[in-house]
Structure 1
Amino acid sequence: MATEPTLYFGYGSNLWLEQMAARCPTSVYRGVALIPHWQWIINGRGYANIVTASSDDTGSPHSIVYGLVFALQPEDEARLDVYEGVAGGAYEKQRVTALFWPAEGKTRVNTSVSVPESREMLVYVDRKNTQPYLPRTEYIRRMNNGIADAMMLGVPAKYIQDVMRPFILPDGEYDENGNWILGPGA
């Protein structure tokens, strides 16, 4: 009996299609999704995380998280558990209800004109590191590649500019040691 694939919501460096293909070789890109009432941050460990949005942020661009959706077979979900540090307590697996815009192949999704479906998805959340911080130097390149792929596939540019770019500056805005010239809120 075949197992139904798990829909996985990637919001950090797993937005980078090349990284997802390497980590989860049988995964299939399925579209773009949005999780309401959550906020995207770089956490104290230096990696992307999502946290429940405060009631003060309801309705702001910071109270939603966009991501890419992948169908995972059990062996890929097990691999992703290792990458996300589930056994060591780095991230926890959680099921969330997301608004989902399915894609045909790797085509761009237009989130502004089509009506999304409501679907349950797997997401990885770090419940311990919930305060905004700076990204690890090695993470910046992976995130910039992920941001480029996310924009290509239909994650709105305004979301990326307003929510992700305060944490992940475009390549070239760091000194020779990989330190930010400007950080969040600067």
Structure 2
Amino acid sequence: MKRKIYVAYGSNMDLAQMAYRCPQAKLLGKGLMKDWQLLFKGSQTGSYATIEQAGNHEVPVLLWEISRSDEARLNVYEGYPKFYYKKTVQVKTENGLVTGMVYIMHEERETGIPSAEYYDVLEQAYKEFGFDLKILQEACRVSHDKSRQNM
């Protein structure tokens, strides 16, 4: 069974949701994506986490080892390839750089504000894994400011 490393920065940092979505996934640890920024963008169903390249920013992530069937389930959940696309990225971990696959929302999507329920899932994961809550809060603020500019 071929497995790959999946980089999660949104609701797939929630252990229970990930266990449900990807029953064969194994949590490998955490890391940071340097020169990437967390944002919220959306569709008609709401605003969700995404990342964009941006100097002097970083995004905390979890690294998962996933199977092909886990990836197939993630493809459906993430709306791949229409809503999110895949990219190979480098993640800084305490043991050095790790290469993995990440889902990124198409850049032309408009920024927006996540639902309180969705934000709470991310906030809980940030607390559970010791991530800097300021990154999550800034993502909300920046996404809100950009969405107001687009009105």
TM-score, normalization: structure 2?
0.82
Q: Does 1:119 align with 2:98?
A: yes
Query: How far did 1:18 drift?
Result: 0.9
Q: 51, 70, 76: which is aligned to 1:76? A: 70
Segments of structure 1 that go 5 or more residues without pairing to the other structure are 101-114, 170-182
Deviation sequence 1:97-126 (CA, Å, 0-9, x none): 1112xxxxxxxxxxxxxx442010110001
Q: Does 1:145 align with 2:121?
A: yes
Name the structure where strand makes up a greater proportion of residues: 2
Name the structure where helix makes up a greater proportion of residues: 2
Aligned residues: 141
Query: How far did 1:130 drift?
Result: 5.4
The 5 A counterparts of 1:30-41 are 30-41=28-39
Segments of structure 2 that go 5 or more residues without pairing to the other structure are 146-151
The verdict on how the C-alpha distance between 1:20 and 1:143 changes in structure 2, with shifts beyond 3 A counting, is farther
Alpha carbons 1:7, 1:71 under 8 Å: kept: yes
| Secondary structure of 1:165 counterpart | helix
User: Larger Cα Rg: Structure 1 or Structure 2?
Assistant: 1
Query: How far did 1:150 drift?
Result: 3.3
Q: Does 1:67 align with 2:61?
A: yes
| 2:100 maps to amino acid | M
- Counting aligned pairs with the same residue, the percent is 28
| Secondary structure of 2:70 counterpart | helix
Query: How far did 1:30 drift?
Result: 1.1
